[in-house]
Amino acid sequence: MTIDGITVCADSGLTSEEIARLVSDEKSLWQQRGKTLAQVDITLEGTQITVTSMEKSPIRRIRRITGYLSSIDNFNDAKRAECQDRVVHAS
């Protein structure tokens, strides 16, 4: 199931209202930390509810330039233009 764009896997012993409240609480905690929530797993073990969350993490490109690894964000305009003009030799 998906709630507010967050993938949710929840135990069948929980009601939809309980699940929505737990996801809302968890989303608020993550937003306070400045992070984006991607997935919430909610399990019920007896009377204990366990909430496990995962952060949404964008994929970044890292380049090897003159022996150093760096993201393109750190390049000046000339180095960015060089990266865009490169010819890919892939088979």
Three-state SS letters, 33-78: CCCCEEEEEEEEECCEEEEEEEECCCCCCEEEECCEEEEHHHCCHH
- 19/35 same-domain check: yes
- 39/8 same-domain check: yes
> Is the pLDDT score of 67 beyond 70?
no
- 47/71 same-domain check: no
The residue to which tokens 């490169």 are assigned: 86
Higher pLDDT, 53 or 69: 53
Indicate the pLDDT class of residue 5, thresholds 50, 70 and 90.
confident
- 48/65 same-domain check: no
